[in-house]
Amino acid sequence: MLDIKFLRENPELVKENIRKKFQDAKLPLVDEAIELDAKMRAAITEASELRAERNRLSKANGPLFGKLKKAADGEKAAIQAEIDANMAAVKANDAYLAQLEQAEGECEQRLHRVMLQIPNIIDPSVPIGPDDSANVEVERFGEPKTPDFEIPYHTEIMERFGGIDIDSAGRVSGSGFYYLLGDIARLHSAVTAYARDFMIDKGFTYCIPPFMIHGNVVEGVMSQTDMDAMMYKIEGEDLYLIGTSEHSMIGRFIDQILPEEALPQTLTSYSPCFRKEKGAHGIEERGVYRIHQFEKQEMIVVCRPEDSMKWYEQMWRYSVELFRSMDIPVRQLECCSGDLADLKVKSCDIEAWSPRQQKYFEVCSCSNLGDAQARRLKIRVKGEDGKMYLPHTLNNTVVAPPRMLIAFLENNLQADGSVLIPKVLQPYMGGKTVLIPQK
């Protein structure tokens, strides 16, 4: 969410940013916000003047009451009339003040709703384009390989190990759910545990956050559109299941004043994630690619504004390092303006190579949100000079199995159907170096 003062002083810049994001339908929101802001400030000024006048009239009556007691009979009527006039004026002021306060509150609420819909200002380095088709490949890491044998669909590979049961999950929970079993379930947990320790070794503090959060936290960490498309609400409760642990991890600092010396906050969190995943998806997004429930290891940074781009660069490189340590080729893909969620300043995806599809697919997403989340959640930092400022927040996927398992199984599958276990995962797999299929 933008600072209203910034919008007030730079309306054309904000509109140009909206055009760059190909959201022209939101252009009228800028003028509406300016108009609401002007009305609210006018109401505040007038209300302040009324309160001052009311106080003046109330104070004026004090001496008049004393004067009334001492006055001669012939003077009392005039003094009483002056007192009555002051009291009538105070009463009239109170009634009008109540109207102004109501109007001010209504303007403030409407302004807040409008400001939530206006996109954050994107970084100048973001490529301009309408959707993900305009995302730009920046760099590749590792050589994409294509074996000389056919690679089955990922659920078929898992089934050879007795590792997945989607039919039973469908009967129990519906589509978009799964059972993982045996070595595949163990591999899932091994990858998560390895990712946890990988980030701890990078100096991040390991956390397990709440898996449900209040509505005001949801509003603070994501856009309304994303909220409606993603979040599951607990019926009858002001609670939502998290779609990623970033939500509750950033929410941890809501309404807090952080000492500057406590920055940066570098955290890595584990959680299950729950998502509606609305819309139709193709065959490549079936199985365990796009699902309602999965687990994830996340990294979150809260830092000084001047350090956020440095952390952004470091965080996506951690993802690359992690995947390359498991022999998976990846690339960095810069997200274009039209593919950025409204709170994001800059974002990139790390995509893993799929030998079966002969293309890359997303496994991590790294984002710099500037001060948008801090502004919404009222997270502030007290600098050494005593002044308050808003920190920047960033997040990135460390690893999100089971989607990551698709890349892992395809890139480590052998011609005989076995799957090699990279050295970094072997301690988490009881020393196993290879998985042998049951059928």
pLDDT tens for 89-142 read 666 667 777 877 888 888 899 999 999 999 999 999 999 999 999 999 999 999
Pair (139, 16) in one structural domain: no
438/245 Cα distance (integer angstroms): 35
Residue 177 token pair? 């759910």
Pair (198, 251) in one structural domain: yes
Pair (112, 231) in one structural domain: no
Alpha carbon distance, N-terminus to C-terminus of the chain: 54
Tell whether 254 is covered by a domain: yes
Give the pLDDT of residue 48. 79
Q: Please say whether the beta carbons of 21 and 64 come within 8 A.
A: no
Instruction: Please give the C-alpha separations between residue 429 and each of 164, 194, 400, 426, in angstroms, as whole numbers.
Output: 18, 10, 18, 5
For residue 299, the cross-strand partners are 268, 396
Which of 38, 43, 21 is closest to 341 using CA atoms? 21
Q: Report residue 51's pLDDT band, with 50, 70 and 90 as the boundaries.
A: confident
Tell whether 142 is covered by a domain: yes
Give the pLDDT of residue 76. 67
Of residues 64 and 122, more confidently modeled: 122
Tell whether 124 is covered by a domain: no
Pair (54, 180) in one structural domain: no
The tally of CA atoms less than 13 A away on the side-chain side of residue 24 is 1
Q: What is the DSSP letter of 347?
A: E
Residue 6 token pair? 């910034």
Pair (53, 182) in one structural domain: no
Pair (67, 179) in one structural domain: no
Query: Which residue segment(s) compose the domain that 179 sits in?
Result: 132-435
Give the pLDDT of residue 402. 82
CATH code for the domain of 243: 3.30.930.10
Q: Please say whether the beta carbons of 126 and 346 come within 8 A.
A: yes
Domain end point (choices 117, 143, 163): 117
14/40 Cα distance (integer angstroms): 21
pLDDT digits (tens, 9 = 90+) for 360-402: 999 999 999 999 999 999 999 999 999 999 999 999 999 998 8
Residue 23 token pair? 């959201």
Tell whether 247 is covered by a domain: yes
Pair (108, 136) in one structural domain: no
Domain end point (choices 70, 86, 117): 117
The DSSP-derived string for 31-60 is HHHHHHHHHHHHHHHHHHHHHHHHHHHHHH
Tell whether 63 is covered by a domain: yes
Q: How many domains does the chain have?
A: 2
Domain end point (choices 55, 89, 117): 117
Say what the alpha-carbon torsion angle 38, 39, 40, 42 is, to the nearest 10 degrees: 80
Residue 286 token pair? 């079936």
Tell whether 389 is covered by a domain: yes
Give the pLDDT of residue 356. 95
Pair (70, 186) in one structural domain: no
236/244 Cα distance (integer angstroms): 22
254/244 Cα distance (integer angstroms): 17
> Is the bond preceding 264 in cis, omega lying within 30 degrees of 0?
yes
State the Rg of the chain over Cα.
Answer: 29
| Per-state percent for the chain, helix, strand, coil, to nearest 5 | 50, 20, 30
Pair (91, 204) in one structural domain: no
Pair (201, 93) in one structural domain: no
pLDDT digits (tens, 9 = 90+) for 210-259: 999 999 999 999 887 777 778 899 999 999 999 999 999 999 999 999 99
User: What's the whole-number mean pLDDT along residues 42-55?
Assistant: 78
7/36 Cα distance (integer angstroms): 12
Tell whether 122 is covered by a domain: no
Pair (96, 228) in one structural domain: no
Pair (262, 308) in one structural domain: yes
CATH code for the domain of 19: 1.10.287
Tell whether 126 is covered by a domain: no
Name the burial class of residue 44, with classes exposed (0-12), middle (13-18) and buried (19+) by CB atoms within 10 angstroms of its CB.
Answer: middle
